[in-house]
Amino acid sequence: MKIKVNENFSNIADSYLFSDINKKIKAYKEKNPNADVIRLGIGDVTLPLSSVVIDALTKASLEMGNKDTFRGYPPEYGYDFLKEAILNYYKRFDVNLSMDSIFASDGAKSDLGNIVDILGDNDVYIPNPVYPVYLDSNIMSGRRVHFINGSKENNFLPMPNVNYKTGVYYLCSPNNPCGAVYNYEQLKEWVKFAKFTGSLIIFDSAYEAFIKDRNLPHSIYEIEGAKECAIEICSFSKQAGFTGLRCGYTIVPEELMCGDYSINKLWKRRQATKFNGVSYPVQRAAEAALSDTGIKECQKNIEYYMENAHALSKLFDEKGIYYTGGKSSPYIWFKCPNNMDSWSFFEFLLKEANVVGTPGVGFGTQGEGYFRITSFGTHEKTKEAIERLRKIL
């Protein structure tokens, strides 16, 4: 062919992290067929959907099979019933949203990747380490990317810096992979900085439902002025176990203006052109997840995962190993012992304890020497893994 392709794709690093991990486990098991390998690298939920969600999903699916209740294309921005449920959910954090600022999506990943469509040629600032979608989607569209570094010094919560200029800033809290959560003061500083420099914050709150500490913000809109400088992207994936159902939402406040341009209008235009909405049964299921009973049931699953997280954190406390996360997040991010690099520690853990996690360097160069484990396994497997880790750490 003689057409031109988007050559920016050649600038994205190939994503081999999880396939490399799987290859290493496979090779190890071939050599040690009796090894009982425990996976603490799981980034997906493992508990089934709650009964409230399943009931709503079933009822809505049956409606689709009846002439009187059948529904065709959903509204591009989401049904009002779901938007109202989201609006009411935010009232729990004393945040008042307008219906027009809420956009239902098929998950946070799509909107995090698509948001670049409405933004021009800006400098883009991305945490290092972090969930890789922000970086890859910006490189695909040829943006100038700078890193804002996480480290032990800032507890993996990068803060504004005099060297940072006007641009688009991605923040993830609770953070994947580090599990760290920004507090009110830190987010206030970010909002102040964004307003002072005329920057936009893209705030990924996919794990907000894991926050238990009342002193930590669930939404950037809990900070005064944030509606003038931030887009928030959230998901039902981890809150309600929707990784297989697919539903999320994006908040683009009407207050977000860039000169004469309304960012809200640009996003509406983008979605109306390129997105045809989330299926009716899935939106009903998401609505049910945000009902009082739905929230209670979903929180039970989160509590199950958090029991694992707390048990794992206790081990690192006991061993005096530096870590972040595990308190308001399903992730625990720790310093590899004896200054091992991330992959050497992966090998060591697999060989000595038959336990698998994720090398921190896979989330950015600043993750070298660190390691991520997750709390999405069963209590039994996690307990067993902790006993094995206790012996080798």
Based on CB atoms, which residue is closest to ligand PLP, 200 or 233?
A: 233
One character per residue 121-160, x = contact with ligand PLP (rule: CB under 6 A): ----------x-----------------------------
Spatial separation of the C-alpha atoms in residues 221 and 364, rounded to whole Å: 28
Are the C-beta atoms of residues 45 and 238 closer than 8 Å to each other? yes
57, 60, 85, 109: residue in contact with ligand PLP (rule CB under 6 A): 109
Minimum CB distance to ligand PLP, residue 283 (Å): 14
Based on CB atoms, which residue is closest to ligand PLP, 174 or 281?
A: 174
Based on CB atoms, which residue is closest to ligand PLP, 79 or 331?
A: 331
Based on CB atoms, which residue is closest to ligand PLP, 109 or 218?
A: 109
Beta-ladder partners of 249: 104, 234
25, 52, 108, 135: residue in contact with ligand PLP (rule CB under 6 A): 108
C-alpha dihedral, 173 to 174 to 175 to 181, nearest 10°: 80
Based on CB atoms, which residue is closest to ligand PLP, 57 or 108?
A: 108
Based on CB atoms, which residue is closest to ligand PLP, 83 or 386?
A: 83
Part of the chain binding ligand PLP (CB under 6 A), chosen from 104-112, 149-157, 306-314, 332-340: 104-112
Instruction: Pinpoint the alpha helices (H) of the chain.
Output: 17-31, 51-64, 80-91, 108-114, 133-140, 184-197, 237-240, 263-274, 280-289, 292-319, 342-353, 379-392
Distances (CA, A) of 173 to 124, 221, 317, 325: 18, 13, 22, 11
Minimum CB distance to ligand PLP, residue 390 (Å): 28
21, 124, 187, 206: residue in contact with ligand PLP (rule CB under 6 A): 206
- Token pair 């209008």 is at which residue? 265
Residue 47's contacts (CB-CB under 8 Å, 6 or more residues apart) are 241, 301, 304, 305
208 binds ligand PLP (CB under 6 A): no
Biggest CA pair distance of the chain: 67
Site size for ligand PLP (CB under 6 A): 13
Cis ω before 132 (30° cut-off from 0):
no
How do beta strands 358-359 and 370-374 pair? antiparallel
Based on CB atoms, which residue is closest to ligand PLP, 176 or 199?
A: 176
Part of the chain binding ligand PLP (CB under 6 A), chosen from 14-22, 103-111, 253-261, 365-373: 103-111
Distances (CA, A) of 166 to 55, 79, 85, 99, 118: 47, 35, 35, 29, 17
One character per residue 176-205, x = contact with ligand PLP (rule: CB under 6 A): x---------------------------x-
One character per residue 232-251, x = contact with ligand PLP (rule: CB under 6 A): ---x-x-----x----x---
Are the C-beta atoms of residues 57 and 241 closer than 8 Å to each other? no
Instruction: Pinpoint the alpha helices (H) of 67-107.
Output: 80-91
- Which positions lie near ligand PLP, rule CB under 6 A? 43, 107-109, 131, 172, 176, 204, 206, 235, 237, 243, 248
